[in-house]
Chains A and B, each alone.
Chain A
Amino acid sequence: MGTTEKAVVLDVRHLRTEFGPQDRPLVAVDDVSFQVGQGEILGLVGESGSGKSITLRSILGIIRPRGRVAGEILWNGQDLVPLDEARLRRIRGREIAMIFQEPMSSLNPLLTVGLQIQENLVAHTNLDAKARKARAIELLDLVGIPGARNRLDDFPHEFSGGMRQRVMIAIALASNPKLLLADEPTTALDVTIQDQILRLIQSLSRDLGMAVILVTHDMGVVAETCDRVAVMYGGRLCEVGTTTDVIADARHPYSLGLLRSIPRDVAPRTPLYSIPGAPPALNALPPGCAFSARCPVAGRECPDLRPTLEASGSSRLVACHHLQDAQAHFGPREAAQ
């Protein structure tokens, strides 16, 4: 698996999450393995329905409607998959925190921001009321909310979208988690705010030594923020590597296609590249490579024979039968960038 110099805090092995009937299951996440090191930011990229959010939710055991999770999720050596709700609850929020895409609906509209931060402190720490308030102010300050002291008694609707996302992060950070799961935290925000929030996550990760898994569909976000990136398609991993490697020298045809679809350095009115077709439905996944139906270099064996995630180069994992063809097809253009 991907090698990191830092100590591995989360080690996901052969994660499989499925829904529906036992005999004809819908497999949303299929044999996904990755590791996250301490203080590392891992990007999980893919389009809607590729299973990236489900992967995150599987880690915390909050799959709804009830799905079946198999495989191992080793959190500092402890497997989270077989844990019951009560024991998971002690890890959620305290060791692993999560923030969501919609800052508009992720906060309880009826409770003040201060109360919502302090609630987390009540649940996970032994601080007394005074210390909790001080900590709440400190947290709001940490996430860059101006005049933190005066905003404790404000309700969520008195904050803008970006500020609400900061509040969400403050709540998530309240009990010093070691891992932050961020589910498209910037998708609902406009571009300038996106940038601020990403920088905030980056600096928090650096300063607090907190690992982050950042789910996104935006390669730009990954390039800006993440140390390593894992590309998902149809519930499976296609390519895992350091961000610089993957952006500069993608190997999997899907990653190549994704990167080529980003507009850059082109004359006005040049049609953008897009990957033909649409992602397959969960009940129509081929037994082989999930991407084979849309892949420009797919061979005859691809829909039937599942490519395994194999090392390609020093710190790269790719799942494809036709690496050379892919390079040839997409040409040296991507490498040049």
Chain B
Amino acid sequence: MTVLTQTHSRTRGRLAAFLARAFARPSFVIGIAILGLSLALALFPQLFAPYDPLAFDLHAIQQGPSLAHPFGTDNFGRDVLSRVIWAYRVDMQMAFFATIFALLIGLTAGAFVGYYGGIADVIFGRCVDAIITFPFLVLVIAIVAVLGPGLVNMYVAITAVNWVYYARLTRAEIMAQKANDYAAAGRVLGYSDRRIIFRHLLPNAISPILVYWMTDMALAILLGSSLGYLGLGAQPPAAEWGVLIAEGRNFLMTAWWMSLMPGIAIVLTGLGFSLVGDALADLLRPKGR
């Protein structure tokens, strides 16, 4: 009996061991702390923001950082700290929604193409080349321009371009895994292709893709802010870091905090994703098996 319970708890033991190794890394700890805080701010901005992010205070226009307004106020007297905090909600959403569909589409397409190869692979390769030929931002801006500005259209535009990178990565990983005997063993055991791809190959191929996803969420925030800055993403008066920076750009000389504070938020959040991604890359890398 003792032996049985022992074996049953082994899987959980492995997860605990993984977490222990993860939290032994400073980069992982810092990254997770940043992301955890970001997530909390995104989920409950009302708990953290001292003011209403949209409330004008015409007696406190463009005040510098002070105790009452740690990040200062903008040209309508709105509290920059509150706006930056509320912007977490929009920007963390962007990090997720601008990448998750690209990830799912790319995983599926890349897995099938990598597994079957042949003519589908050739056609896929040409399409990928065609999409990659365009500079990323230019293509996204073109698609948003056609669809019209706004968050949802921005997600559509980014996904339409971004899935290609996931698909390429997945395809390469699946092709490498496919060469292993366990893939052939699956076929020989009479398993369906779908079972072989999703139960055997993909779990073995997924770690570099997850690591890329982490970095890509940081990139998505940058991209989303860029589009917001250009007026193609989130629309004012909504609080979004790119929008905030754009609002402050005319006052860079007189009210630098209006642009600098959201800028710092972008850098910090991006850093969080990168640190976690980096730590995961090290942790998931197979050691000499």
Contact = CB atoms under 8 A, between A and B. Distances in A.
A330 B200 CA distance: 51
Contacts of A109: 182, 204, 289
Contact of B11 (A101, A102, A120, A153): A153
Interface in A89-121: 89-94, 97-102, 105-112, 119-120
A150 interface: yes
A211 interface: no
B66 interface: no
B187 A123 contact: no
Contacts of B190: 88-94, 123-124
B187 A62 contact: yes
B189 A92 contact: yes
A143 to B, nearest CB: 16
Interface in A69-99: 88-94, 97-99
B7 interface: yes
Given A123-B191, A150-B7, A102 B203 contact: no
Contact of B184 (A62, A112, A123, A152): A62
A302 B11 CA distance: 63
Contact of A108 (B3, B7, B182, B188): B182
A168 interface: yes
B180 interface: yes
B185 interface: yes
Interface string A118-136: 0110011000000000000
Contacts of A68: none
Contacts of B285: none
Given A123-B191, A124-B190, A171-B189, A105 B180 contact: yes
Query: Do most interface residues of chain B lie in helix, strand or loop, or is the interface mixed?
Result: helix
Interface string B166-208: 0000000000000011101111111110010001100110000
B204 A110 contact: yes
B10 interface: yes
A100 B189 contact: no
A27 interface: no
B181 A100 contact: yes
A319 B135 CA distance: 65
B7 A97 contact: no
Given A153-B8, A153-B11, A98 B180 contact: no
A139 B181 CA distance: 21
Contacts of B7: 150, 152-153
B117 to A, nearest CB: 8
A123 B189 contact: yes
A157 interface: yes
Contacts of A62: 184, 187-188
Contact of A100 (B10, B184, B191, B199): B184
Contacts of A106: 181-182, 184-185
Given A100-B181, A110-B204, A168-B185, A157 B8 contact: no
Interface residues of B, number: 23
B113 to A, nearest CB: 16
Counting contact residues on chain A (CB < 8 A from B), the size range is 35 or more
A150 B3 contact: yes
A97 B189 contact: yes
Nearest to A110: B203
Contacts of B11: 112, 153
A10 interface: no
Nearest to A151: B7
Nearest to A61: B187
Contact of B181 (A91, A97, A105, A119): A105
A157 B186 CA distance: 18
A60 B184 CA distance: 11
A64 B180 CA distance: 13
B188 A105 contact: no
Nearest to B179: A105
B205 to A, nearest CB: 10
A336 B182 CA distance: 44
A62 B178 CA distance: 13
A60 B190 CA distance: 10
Contacts of A149: 3
Nearest to A168: B185
A111 to B, nearest CB: 8
Interface in A264-311: none
Given A100-B185, A101-B181, A107-B185, 14 more contacts: A92-B188, A93-B191, A94-B190, A98-B185, A98-B188, A100-B184, A105-B182, A106-B182, A108-B200, A109-B289, A110-B203, A123-B190, A153-B11, A168-B185
25 contacts: A60-B187, A89-B191, A89-B192, A93-B189, A93-B190, A99-B185, A100-B184, A105-B181, A107-B182, A107-B185, A108-B182, A108-B186, A108-B204, A109-B182, A119-B191, A120-B189, A123-B190, A123-B191, A123-B195, A150-B3, A153-B11, A171-B185, A171-B189, A172-B189, A181-B188
Interface of B: 3, 7-8, 10-11, 180-182, 184-192, 195, 199-200, 203-204, 289
Smallest CB-CB A-B distances: 8 pairs = A93-B190, A93-B189, A92-B190, A106-B181, A98-B188, A105-B181, A89-B190, A153-B7
Interface of A: 60, 62, 64, 88-94, 97-102, 105-112, 119-120, 123-124, 149-150, 152-153, 157, 168, 171-172, 181
